[in-house]
Amino acid sequence: MSEVMLEVKNLSKSFRMRENRIDSLKGSIANFFNSTTAAAEDFHALKDVSFNLERGEALGIIGKNGAGKSTLLRILSGISQPDQGEINFYGKAVSILDIGAGFHPELTGRENIYLSASLYKFTRKKIEERFNEIVEFSGIGKFIEEPVKNYSSGMYLRLAFSIITCLDADIYLIDEVVNVGDANFQMKCKNKIEELIAAGKTLLIASHNMNEISVLCNRIILMEYGQIIETGGADIIQKYMTIALPQYFHFEEGEFFHIKNLDESPFEQKDMRLLKYGIKDYIANHNGISTNHPFAIYLDVQLFEEITTEFRLKFYDATGALIFTCSSARQEVLQINRAGQYHVEFQIPANLLNTRLYSVELRVVNDDKKALMFKADKFIAIKMADDDSNTETNRDLHLQGLVKPLVPVSVTKL
Amino acid sequence: MERKIYKSIRGGRQSLGSYLKEVFDARNLILSFAVRDLKIQYAQTYLGVFWSLVQPLTGLIIFNFFFQRVIPLHLNVPYAVFAFTGIMVWFYFTALVGQGGTALMANQALIKKIQFPRLVLPLSKALVGLVEFSISLILLLVMLLVFGVGISPKIVFLPLVVIANIMSGLSIGIWLSALTIRFRDLHHLIPYLIGFGIWLTPVFYPTTMVPESFSWIYYLHPVANVIALYRWIFIGLPINFVQVACSFTIAALMLISGLYFFVRNEKFVADYL
């Protein structure tokens, strides 16, 4: 049975704009005598935000800078006061807006553990119980009696993170803190967070790291202009990218791809000319280009010189992670090395791409000189979607990932 | 089934009573901050917390030179004991006003990241000051014995006077700490308040030297009366209890109004920093 751990009802918060704020005696006195001063213009950081968080849920909050994520977290943490609305916690919450916020460099690791823990409202007894666990997880060892100013930045972060996660709470409010430290420490943080989720803790994470959000969170809230504009699963991330990068991922009504006009490209075409290019043989369903069918990206080019030319397509996901590169020189195909016109076709197999937004970069390389002849970033943006009949099954299966190849599976009864 | 709400956040004002309970629950934190500040100031020094005596002792030497050699003041008690009583109270008062008044500004980073009752910050500063004050108090007791003044049984009133001392200092410190967030100008005003305040306060001169026509000041001046109380306890100087009552009423009103003002503004502190 679902059990609500956090209730947020109709939360609103506005800030007075800096120019209109009375920050000095002069302003205050001036304001006092001049009652005709125009009403200050307010900036609505949060507008009527409501949501519930249930036990065991990991809720991700995404949105552009200034969408209201941090304001929301600050209000949930009690640092800032809402203008309107109500928040009810049905369990102990800790908020981690900054790692090591309560640390003082002159104090030893041990002293900082006690200070931080009392800042997070844990009793001395509780800290003593968990002290060894904290020290062990942080891996600080004998340096625990040294002032933290002598710590390396990695040690500092490890200790700070250990304190927070080793203290028991029911609800964790986290703002972008997993992206600190080296790879090993990030891994440790991520594992710890997964452990918390597995232990039935409730999490709320605001982050710009879409990969992290999609891996950790089972529900995502998308915020824009201080409001929740959509709630859902990992597919919300794709929606977010169309808001965050409208210049690339904004499609015409009923269209699921966008092809850039390369004549406007700042990169000059050397010794060659692109005549025609585009996507063909695709099948579109209601939500995008079908992932269940192959399609092709083609280029018609005119080559002016005798140059061995290679064409490359680089596939990126919406957040900018490179997924794979395909090249015309990799396979035994017709060598493009004489002047003339060529038709190059890249056939993207069915069941390779996942239900995501992708962008494709084109590179034309002079293979003799190993020099770049032409380059176009995000020359194709494309939205992939499963055929409707399959959507439900995929959601149930949680086929997460940058690609979704149909890996042959065999099952035999023993 | 109604479930227990662990914590609720709503817009609107918090009552002073529930706020003070929150502060009481955070008493651990007051102690932690005070210990932190003392460690940072005095750890790794040879004299440790005795460094806090340097300033009052320097003051004592200067006053003693001026008012015994340059412009001799004639009192029927040893001047050094008389002056040091005033100096130690004055330094504690300046700590309560100066440190307490800037406590929120000095901890901006913390305030923006972690929620706790902000009153904890000026209170922990008061505690740090109390430790330093206690060292001075011990020195005073030694001086009383060395100068043959002895220790009067009135010392049983000492705890009450110390509480009055803290309250009168905090009444200003709390007002200032809440006000400096909104009005940064006050930050620059605090050193002046402290620098000139010493002339209005009978630290190094007895009130008997002040012309009768100005003595009304002491009905409004809690710190002057705190000093008078210490001198009444330790060196048996006469005291005007009407002045004490009158000025402490003012201090109490300042403190209560200061707390109200602080609680009203505390929720917006993070927005203004």
- Domain check: are A87 and A213 in the same one? yes
How far apart are alpha carbons B100 and B172 in whole angstroms? 9
- pLDDT average, residue stretch A90-109: 87
Angle at A195 between CA A189 and CA A196, to 5 degrees: 90
| Neighbour count for residue A385 (Cβ, 10 Å) | 23
Confidence of residue B157 (pLDDT cuts 50, 70, 90): very high
What pLDDT, in 10s, does the model give residues A256-267?
888 888 777 777
Angle at A240 between CA A239 and CA A241, to 5 degrees: 90
Contact B110 A102 (CB under 8 A): yes
Q: Is the pLDDT of residue A182 over 80?
A: no
Structure tokens at A72: 């929301």
What pLDDT, in 10s, does the model give residues A27-36?
666 665 554 4
Beta carbons of A63 and A72 less than 8 angstroms apart: no
- Domain check: are A192 and A279 in the same one? no
Structurally, chain A folds into a number of domains equal to 2
Question: Could you tell me which residues of chain B have a Cβ less than 8 Å from any Cβ in chain A?
Answer: 3-11, 25-26, 28-29, 32-33, 36, 39-40, 43, 109-116, 182-186, 267-268, 270-272
Instruction: Tell me if B61 is assigned to some domain.
Output: yes
For residue A320, the domain's CATH number is 2.70.50.60
Question: How far B258 CA sits from the closest chain A CA (Å)?
Answer: 18
How far apart are alpha carbons B171 and B249 in whole angstroms? 11
Asked if the C-beta of A400 comes within 8 angstroms of chain B's C-beta atoms, the answer is no
| Neighbour count for residue B176 (Cβ, 10 Å) | 27
Strands ordered across the beta sheet of A84-89: A42-54, A4-16, A84-89, B7-10
**Least confident range of A166-180, A361-375, A393-407, B95-109:** A393-407
Instruction: Tell me if B35 is assigned to some domain.
Output: no
Instruction: Tell me if B31 is assigned to some domain.
Output: no
Instruction: Tell me if A38 is assigned to some domain.
Output: no
Q: Higher model confidence: residue A215 or residue A362? A: A362
Contact B28 A104 (CB under 8 A): no
B-chain CB neighbours of A101 within 8 Å are: 109-110, 113-114
What pLDDT, in 10s, does the model give residues A343-373?
999 999 999 998 888 999 999 998 888 888 8
- Domain check: are A239 and A257 in the same one? no
- Domain check: are A202 and A95 in the same one? yes
Domain boundary among A186, A218, A244: A244
Confidence of residue A285 (pLDDT cuts 50, 70, 90): confident
For residue A86, the enclosing domain spans 4-9+45-244
| C-alpha A200, offset from chain centre | 23
**Least confident range of A9-13, B255-259, B264-268:** B264-268
Which pLDDT does position A238 carry in this prediction?
79
Most confident of A152-156, A231-235, A407-411: A407-411
How far apart are alpha carbons B273 and A74 in whole angstroms? 14
Q: Higher model confidence: residue A142 or residue A1? A: A142
Burial of B32 (0-12, 13-18, 19+ CB in 10 A): buried
Instruction: Tell me if A73 is assigned to some domain.
Output: yes
**What Å distances lie between residue B179 and A379, B18, B109, B172, B265, CA to CA?**
57, 22, 18, 10, 9
- Domain check: are A203 and A261 in the same one? no
Q: Is the pLDDT of residue A388 over 80?
A: no
Instruction: Tell me if B7 is assigned to some domain.
Output: no
**Residue type for B166, please?**
I
Beta carbons of B49 and B38 less than 8 angstroms apart: yes
B-chain CB neighbours of A92 within 8 Å are: 6
For residue B147, the enclosing domain spans 17-26+45-272
Contact A98 B28 (CB under 8 A): no
Confidence of residue A396 (pLDDT cuts 50, 70, 90): very low
Contact A119 B267 (CB under 8 A): no
Residue A77 is nearest to which of B39, B115, B182, comparing CB atoms? B115
Which pLDDT does position A138 carry in this prediction?
84
Instruction: Tell me if A305 is assigned to some domain.
Output: yes
- Domain check: are A257 and A240 in the same one? no
**Residue type for B105, please?**
M
Instruction: Tell me if A158 is assigned to some domain.
Output: yes
Structurally, chain B folds into a number of domains equal to 1
Which pLDDT does position A299 carry in this prediction?
92
Contact B32 A115 (CB under 8 A): yes
How far apart are alpha carbons B86 and B230 in whole angstroms? 8
Instruction: Tell me if B151 is assigned to some domain.
Output: yes
Question: How far B261 CA sits from the closest chain A CA (Å)?
Answer: 16
**What Å distances lie between residue A219 and A117, A402, B2, B52, CA to CA?**
30, 18, 26, 56
- Domain check: are A96 and A219 in the same one? yes
DSSP per residue over A169-202, as a string? -SEEEEES-TT-S-HHHHHHHHHHHHHHHHTT-E
**Percent of chain B scoring above 90 in pLDDT:** 46
Instruction: Tell me if A20 is assigned to some domain.
Output: no
A-chain CB neighbours of B109 within 8 Å are: 101
Which pLDDT does position B244 carry in this prediction?
92
- Domain check: are A225 and A295 in the same one? no
- Domain check: are A237 and A260 in the same one? no
Instruction: Tell me if A34 is assigned to some domain.
Output: no
| E strand or H helix at A364 | strand A357-366
Beta carbons of A155 and A143 less than 8 angstroms apart: yes
- Domain check: are A279 and A360 in the same one? yes
Confidence of residue A180 (pLDDT cuts 50, 70, 90): low
Reduced to 3 states (helix: H, G, I; strand: E, B; else coil), residue B122 is helix
Q: Higher model confidence: residue A295 or residue B49? A: A295
Q: Is the pLDDT of residue A39 over 60?
A: no
- Domain check: are A237 and A256 in the same one? no
What pLDDT, in 10s, does the model give residues B191-233?
888 889 899 899 888 888 888 888 888 889 999 999 999 999 9
What pLDDT, in 10s, does the model give residues A51-83?
999 998 999 999 988 888 989 999 999 898 898
Which pLDDT does position A38 carry in this prediction?
46
Domain boundary among A244, A269, A292: A244
Residue B40 is nearest to which of A81, A101, A106, comparing CB atoms? A106
- Domain check: are A59 and A161 in the same one? yes
| E strand or H helix at B8 | strand B7-10
Confidence of residue B124 (pLDDT cuts 50, 70, 90): very high
Domain boundary among A213, A229, A244: A244
For residue A213, the domain's CATH number is 3.40.50.300
Most confident of A97-111, A134-148, A262-276, B241-255: B241-255
Asked if the C-beta of A75 comes within 8 angstroms of chain B's C-beta atoms, the answer is yes
Instruction: Tell me if A36 is assigned to some domain.
Output: no
Q: Is the pLDDT of residue A282 over 70?
A: yes
Instruction: Tell me if A402 is assigned to some domain.
Output: no
Instruction: Tell me if B236 is assigned to some domain.
Output: yes
Contact B10 A80 (CB under 8 A): no
